[in-house]
Amino acid sequence: MPHEPDALSLEEARAKVEQAHAAWLEYRNFTQEQADAIVEAVAAAGRAEARRLAQMAVDETGMGNVEDKTAKNLLATDILPRSMRGMRLLGVLRELPGERITEIGVPVGVVAAVCPTTNPTSTAFFKILISLKAGNAVVISPHPRAKECTCAAAGIAMEAAEKAGAPRGLIQCLERPTLEATQELMKHPKTALILATGGTGMVRAAYSSGKPAYGVGPGNVPIWLDPSADVAEAVRLVVEGKKFDYGTVCSSEQTLVAERRMREAVLEALKRNGAYLMNDAERAAVEKTLFSGGTRVRGECVGKPPEKIAEMAGFSVPPGTTILAGEIPGIGKEFPLSAEKLSPVLALFWVEDFEAGVQACESILRFGGIGHTAVIHARDEARVSEFARRVSAFRVLVNTSSPQGSVGITTNLQPSMTLGCGAIGGNVTSDNVGPQHLINIRRVAWAVRRPEEAMGSADSGMKALDRAALAAAVAKYLEQRGVAVRPAGVQEAIRAAMPASAPAAAPSSPGGLSADAVEAAVDRYLARHGAAPACPCGQATGKPAAPAPQSPPAAEKPPEPPAPKIEIADFVCEADVREAIAKKKKIFIGKKTIVTPAARDAAAADEVLVMAER
């Protein structure tokens, strides 16, 4: 019989989007300071309930463990809000006076937030907090097998937000989650954007909904253990990451790759850290237990402790075992343990050298984890750079456990429960998704030039090009004769003497500029800066007049040469500063000098700009 959609779940999805949208029409007018106060209140409420919600998630889903789920809840309610403090997303974000542009943050509206069964409460708080920070409403869609704990987390957030002044209904959660209800939520006309965390099918549904969507791909994280690494410390960190919440984080370590000559040292270090080393028969049994349909992980194995997985596979492990580890002879479909395992099971793969190791890590990424995360343990920074340059991952973690590093606990990556895999992974972003992805930016731009100055006809473009070339040539000519000038200043003088709208001049002049106009412009420029005309004889020959020879009296001492004249610039742009740095010169400025912000930034480190009085 064909499946009949749950009419009540569809109606709930529609109603809750409408309620959230009505609340957002009021919330969108809140200032950043008002939104921040609500974010802090919701985060505080989540921190207070972090352990209780972790226990609820383990009890309901049977995945992971309370300690690590508590840590993930605190990532979302403590580390994340601390990282967002001071971040401005609403109202005026930036003003660029030199460019006459103002940037304004505008919230998107109602965010549809799809949550997974593996991280049901931490993901709910994460998506609620980044939505509120960016001025949006949010409707949570729980996984059906985690709806009680996810709805509990959303309820805590709702109550705290409303007590802090949020409009009633700003946070919603589906209490009858079904596939059809989630699809209805994603396609609703008043849903503005989708945050999808879940299986590949759910992410594809989000991208095909017709709405902007941030969905993330699966992770199949390789670890390169370089010979330059501290092997004991590196293996300890690998085990810490692999056992974290029993492997339910998408960035959990999956396959450790190392040179064959390091095998014994690595195996010994694994045993010291509580890993159980499976023989070939046990490894084959675990592969049959973990996977169905090739490399699809069975739901009953996801996030289970190593003792349980071993028991399901038909063997036992000592108490206190942290992870199961097995050596594999290859990578790909014929070797299922080289795929993502969503459990505390680690594959080991040996290679001959660094080149083979990089190729192996790339193969692992392309076997179900492209674009996500790769790890290298090394002291050799050149090796780190080479590895990072060549692997197809947008998070390359160095000397850290992968789950904690990828989400921003042990690194300075943005704290996030949604890790993009970029275009190669079928995702719209390669970022750790944060509140900045949940706004649009409105730009107010003033006219600063006429169209013909920006992209006019070929003739006017040639004139502009020739003016610049002519200005540079004139400046060089004058500099050879002891008159320091800027090409930009000469070009301004030429432009003033011969604007683009002026009639065409004698064909013998460059770019259609008349010689008289150029000569007059240069003379005015020199006069304005207190210098002598380019041709003292008054003839436009391009050759200075030779001074009459004079012999000073024998007893008279030659006069001291005059002190060099300081030229105070009228206008300084970034190009002027770059030129001065290259020539190791200073630029003198006065109170009326216009200096662009880009020029000040470029000059800061080299102290090129010198204040002087006229």
Beta-ladder partners of 509: none
Burial 267-276 (b: 16+ CB within 10 A, else e): bebbeebebb
How many Å is the maximal CA-CA distance in the chain? Answer: 122
Nearest to residue 220, comparing CAs of 255, 248, 256?
A: 255
- Tokens 């719209």 sit at which residue? 428
The tokens describing 305, both together, are: 């402790």
Please state, in angstroms and rounded to a whole number, the distance separating the CA atoms of residues 436 and 83: 12
Please state the φ and ψ torsions of residue 89, each to the nearest 5 degrees: -125, -15
C-alpha to C-alpha distance for 419 and 519, rounded to whole angstroms: 63
Q: Residue 422 CB: number of other CB atoms within 10 A?
A: 18
Write out 313-372 in H/E/C secondary structure.
HCCCCCCCCCEEEEECCCCECCEHHHCCCCCCEEEEEEECCHHHHHHHHHHHHHCCCCEE
Helix ranges (DSSP H) in 529-573: none
Query: CA–CA separation, 359 vs 356, rounded Å?
Result: 5
CB atoms within 10 A of CB 265: 14
Q: Is 250 considered catalytic here?
A: yes
Q: Which residue in this structure is represented by tokens 């000469």?
A: 490
Q: How far apart are CA 459 and CA 479, in angstroms?
A: 30
Would you say the C-alpha torsion 325, 326, 331, 332 has a positive or negative sign? negative
Asked whether 92 and 102 are in contact (CB, 8 A), the reply is: yes
Could you give the CA distance from residue 131 to residue 113 in angstroms, rounded to a whole number? 9
Fill in the amino acid letter for 268.
E
**Pairs from 585-590 (Cβ < 8 Å, separation ≥ 24):** 586/610, 588/612, 590/614
Residue linked to tokens 């340059």: 389
DSSP 8-state secondary structure symbol assigned to residue 78: I
Residue 600 CA to residue 609 CA, distance in Å, equals 8
**CA distances from residue 329 to 33, 271, 360, 369 in whole angstroms, order as listed:** 57, 20, 12, 20
Strand partners, 595: 572
> CA–CA separation, 203 vs 218, rounded Å?
10
Decide: helix, strand or coil at residue 295. coil
Within 10 angstroms of residue 189's Cβ, the number of other Cβ atoms is 9
> Which bin fits 549, alpha (ψ -120 to 50), beta or left (φ > 0)?
beta
For the beta carbon of residue 201, count every other beta carbon within 10 angstroms: 9
Separation between Cα atoms, residue 351 and residue 331, nearest integer Å: 12
- Nearest Cα residue to 82 out of 325, 414, 397, 346: 414
Which residue of the set 115, 151, 173, 250 is catalytic?
250
Tokens 């960035």 sit on residue: 251
Question: Which residue numbers are catalytic?
Answer: 250
